[in-house]
Amino acid sequence: MARAVSTRRKIGFTVAAWVVALLIFFPILYTIITSFKSETEAIAGFSLVPSGTLESYAEVQAQSNYFKFFLNSVIIAVGSTILALVVAVPAAWSMAFSPTKRTKDILMWMLSTKMMPAVAVLVPIYLIFRDANLLDTRIGLTVMLMLINLPIVVWMLYTYFREIPGEILEAARMDGATLWGEIVYVLTPMAVPGIASTMLLNIILAWNEAFWTIRLTTTNAAPLTAFIASFSSPQGLFWAKLSAASTLAIAPILIMGWFSQRQLVRGLTFGAVK
Amino acid sequence: MGNINLKKVSKSFGATTIIPEIDLEIEDGEFVVFVGPSGCGKSTLLRLIAGLEDTSAGTISIDGRDVTGEAPAKRRLAMVFQSYALYPHMTVYKNIAFPLKMAGEDAAVIDKKVKDAARVLNLTNYLERRPGQLSGGQRQRVAIGRAIVRQPSAFLFDEPLSNLDAALRGTMRLEISELHHQLKTTMIYVTHDQVEAMTMADKIVVLNAGNIEQVGSPMELYKTPKNIFVAGFIGSPKMNLIDGAPAAKHGATTIGVRPEHLGISTTAGEWKATVGVAEHLGSDTFLHVQAEGVGPLTVRADGELGVRHGDTIYLTPSPAKVHRFGSDGRAM
Ligand SMILES: Nc1ncnc2c1ncn2[C@@H]1O[C@H](COP(=O)(O)OP(=O)(O)OP(=O)(O)O)[C@@H](O)[C@H]1O
Ligand SMILES: [Mg+2]
């Protein structure tokens, strides 16, 4: 009896999980389906079966150079992530391993900068970028994205580093490890999984960042978010073309996410599960 | 060599003083146990010796060399932590080899020493496992292995057995004592378990609120406790402490009588008592009794003694074994 009940419950949970997962994934799925429709099909109404035409993709590629946007996205996402890690690893490290009375306050202050809507600082930042000749440059955008994601990166790394028990570092010190030995043989191997998942999550965040990337670029440094935006033209609705552009833009990150699922889950749960 | 000397050592965390001022001399090859109630500063004192905490004042010297400002790595001490603190990403072999690798030994020497240690500690079959795949006792042995390979001048243990079950604790206690006889290296061992203290130590240091109450061999502390605190802390079951008229008869404010030093009779004696709970351990029986005009007492009796709940018995303390304490709590 009990067994039958628990099996039924298990099935119930599985079905529910699938329904929720499909609901969340549906917008992306429908975008992909629409990208294989012709423009007339796309506005004709709801249909899950596309004709399978590739004309939207051809047109998108003809109108703009996908590869250039793609390259910008890679440079900006990866570059800003590396820069963020270079700054955040030592910062989180010192906060986790030699905290002071102010550590918690500093962390809260860093996070509080994320509570302000980005648009509030649009004008000053735009002016700074203009005066520094950084508008529409990859370097400018890389630095910008690094700065906006930095609080999250520091927070994530801090949580991971805090999980490393202090006694293990003390044991290393007792075992005769110098500071360098402690970092290379003990801390780094234990910190690498946390750093890796932080890196993956930050690449995704930077890849999909649309507010600053669209406003601070025009052509030279424009990444894939700007590429999508360029197809949502005010002159008319081109659903199929827009969908094709979106699919092209999210495909690389979707593939990367698929291959790094395990690390990502750890990253998204912020080290809550061991 | 492992001669450790503490002179006027004190430690405060911010405004709170944990260790007011301690002088202590530890001879080479001694097994010294720090014992005391929870929070009395045992771990702090051990960590000061290890160099994991900085002293607030005073000097610590090892073999005559002042090490007060030296990093832990330079003091040539090895430590076994309560949580074992094994490196989770390394195999047992690499864990044990780590101190040797840090000391820059070459691979062949490391291999020999690790395998020797593994043989002594019964770990030969587990060398390729990770700490996560070991039982508590095995992890404990790895932690000890990591400590012994480097041949330190002294070992520091911080409650190394408190995470193990009673049976394993007994075995490991013997193993550590045996190891001390083999290595003849100074060992400082922190515990709040007075049985561990009594059975393992050459010298016991009783701590209370950061102060040393008494230093001495287990039998010295058992026979001549300097004050009420030590009297009550050393010995199991605890010494009976009696105030008032019965104490005044012995010319003291408080008298202490150990449960094993009370004579039992069913007909006559100094104190008349009613038996409450009797704990039969087989070899011994512990009687918890209520004595008229004296209060609750614990009595250690023969295992075969046939008394029941509610029986009346008479107790007489052996006059030579009565401890007398003055109004300041010190032995008279
Ligand atoms: N880093 C620290 N900052 C502030 N107070 C501390 C710190 N470390 C220890 N203490 C305090 O010092 C006192 C002694 O601690 P310690 O760990 O030495 O006790 P202990 O005798 O080892 O106790 P236990 O038997 O419970 O392990 C405690 O009151 C503790 O709260
Ligand atoms: Mg302790």
Q: Higher pLDDT residue, B125 or A45?
A: B125
Angle at A230 between CA A224 and CA A235, to 5 degrees: 160
A35 belongs to a structural domain: no
> B204 C-alpha vs ligand 1 centroid, how far in Å?
20
Rounded average pLDDT over B85-110: 94
Q: A42 falls in which pLDDT band (50, 70, 90)?
A: confident
Percent of chain A clearing pLDDT 70 (strictly above): 94
Q: What are phi and psi of B188, to 5 degrees?
A: -115, 125
Asked, for residue A274, whether it belongs to a domain, the answer is no
pTM, rounded to two decimals: 0.78
Q: Alpha-carbon distance B54 to B9, whole Å?
A: 10
Which of A145-149, B77-81, B191-195, B297-301 is the least confident region? B191-195
* Within-domain flag for A31: no
Q: Is the pLDDT of residue A274 over 70?
A: no
Quote the pLDDT of residue A268. Answer: 59
What is the band of B168 on the pLDDT scale with cuts at 50, 70, 90?
confident
- Where would I find the beta strands (DSSP E) of A121-218? none
Nearest CA to ligand 1 atom 17: B43
DSSP codes, A83-107:
HHHHHHHHHHHHHHHS--TTHHHHH
A163 touches chain B (CB under 8 A): no
Dist. CA A257–CA B311, nearest whole Å: 78
B315 — phi, psi (to 5°)? Answer: -115, 140
Q: How confident is the model at residue B181 (pLDDT cuts 50, 70, 90)?
A: very high
The answer, yes or no, to whether any atom of ligand 1 lies below 6 A from the CB of B210, is no
Ligand 1 centroid from CA B41, angstroms: 6
- State yes or no: pLDDT of A2 exceeds 60: no
- From the list B73, B79, B87, which residue is nearest A168 (CB)? B87
Q: What is the DSSP string of B176-204?
A: HHHHHHHH--EEEEEES-HHHHHHH-SEE
Total domains in chain A come to: 1
CA of B50 to the centre of ligand 2 (A): 14
Domain assignment present for residue A7? The answer is no
Closest residue CA from atom 3 of ligand 1: B13
**pLDDT > 80? residue B139:** yes
* Mean pLDDT within B178-189: 93
Contacts of B209 (CB under 8 A, 6+ apart): B40, B41
Q: Which of B52, B82, B142, B188 to mutate to test the interface with A (most CBs of A within 10 A)?
A: B52
ipTM, two decimals: 0.84
By most ligand atoms within 8 Å of CB, the mutation choice from B13, B33, B53, B83 for ligand 1 is B13
Please give the distance, rounded to the nearest whole angstrom, from the Cα atom of residue B18 to the centre of ligand 1: 8
On the CB side of A273, how many CA atoms lie within 13 Å of its CA?
8
What is the pLDDT, as a whole number, of residue A217?
Answer: 87
**pLDDT above 60 (res B311):** yes
Nearest neighbour of A181 by CB, restricted to B50, B79, B102: B102
* Domain at A131, CATH number: 1.10.3720.10
Mean pLDDT of chain A: 87
For residue B117, give every residue at least 6 positions away whose Cβ sits within 8 Å of its Cβ, in sequence order, or none. Answer: B96, B123, B145, B148, B149
Please report whether residue A58 resides in a domain.
no
State the average pLDDT over residues B311-326: 92
Residue A33: pLDDT over 80:
yes
The answer as to whether A103 is a domain residue is yes
Chain A partners within 8 Å of B142 (Cβ): none
Residue A185 CA to residue B58 CA, distance in Å, equals 34
Q: Are B289 and B305 in contact (CB under 8 A)?
A: no
Residue B192 pLDDT grade (very low, low, confident, very high; cuts 50, 70, 90): confident
pLDDT given for residue A266 in this prediction: 63
Q: What are chain B's domains? A: 4-230 (3.40.50.300), 239-325 (2.40.50.140)
Test mutation, B54, B101, B102, chain A, max A CBs within 10 A = B102
Least confident interval from A44-48, A127-131, A150-154, A252-256: A44-48
3-state secondary structure of B221: helix
**Centre of ligand 1 from the C-alpha of residue B59, in Å:** 21
SS3 content of chain A, % helix, strand, coil (to 5): 75, 0, 25
Cβ of B87 below 6 Å from ligand 1: no
**Is pLDDT above 80 for A29?**
yes
Q: Choose the closest CB to B99 out of A170, A176, A189.
A: A176
Q: Which residues of B touch A168 (CB under 8 A)?
A: 85-88
Q: With a cut of 50, say whether residue A190 has pLDDT above it.
A: yes
Nearest CA distance, B40 vs chain A (angstrom):
20
Strand B254-257 relative to strand B240-243, pairing: antiparallel
Atom 24 of ligand 1, nearest CA residue: B38
Residue A273 has pLDDT above 50, yes or no: no
Q: Which residues contact B210 (CB under 8 A, 6 or more apart)?
A: B11, B17, B18, B19, B20, B22, B40, B41, B44
A10-30 b/e (C-beta count within 10 Å ≥ 16 → b)? eeeeeeeeeeeeeeeeeeeee
From chain B, the residues in CB contact with A171 under 8 A are 79, 81, 85-87, 146
Encoded tokens for B102? 């840090």
Q: Do B73 and A173 touch (CB under 8 A)?
A: yes
pLDDT at A270: 46
Overall average pLDDT of the B122-139 stretch: 91
Is the CB of residue B176 less than 8 Å from the CB of residue B191? no
* Cα distance from N-terminal residue to C-terminal residue, chain A: 34
Is B43 near ligand 1, meaning CB less than 6 Å away? yes
- Select from A163, A187, A166 the least CA-distant residue to B52: A166
Token match 């508008």: residue? A135
- Regarding predicted confidence, which is higher, A90 or A236? A90
Instruction: Give the pLDDT confidence score for residue A271 in this predicted structure.
Output: 41
Residue whose CA is closest, atom 30 of ligand 1? Answer: B39
Q: How many residues does chain A have?
A: 274
* Residue A51: inside a domain: no
A189 neighbourhood in chain B, CB within 8 Å: 89
Cα B304 to ligand 1 centre (Å): 44
Looking at residue B68, what is its pLDDT?
93
Q: How confident is the model at residue A113 (pLDDT cuts 50, 70, 90)?
A: confident
Q: What is the predicted pLDDT for the residue at A3?
A: 64
pLDDT for the residue numbered A165? 86
Check if A165 contacts B (Cβ < 8 Å).
yes
Which chain A residue shows the shortest CA-CA distance from B156?
A174
* Interface with chain B: mutation pick from A98, A101, A170, A174, highest number of B CBs within 10 Å: A174
Whether B206 shows a pLDDT value over 90: the answer reads: yes
pLDDT tens-digit series, residues B224-266: 999 999 999 999 899 999 998 999 999 899 999 999 999 999 8
**pLDDT tens-digit profile of B20-76?**
999 999 999 999 999 999 999 999 999 999 999 999 999 999 999 999 999 998 899
Structural domain span for residue A210: 66-236+250-268
Residue A168 touches partner B, C-beta closer than 8 Å: yes
Kindly state the percentage of chain B with pLDDT values over 70: 100
For residue A61, being part of any structural domain is answered with no
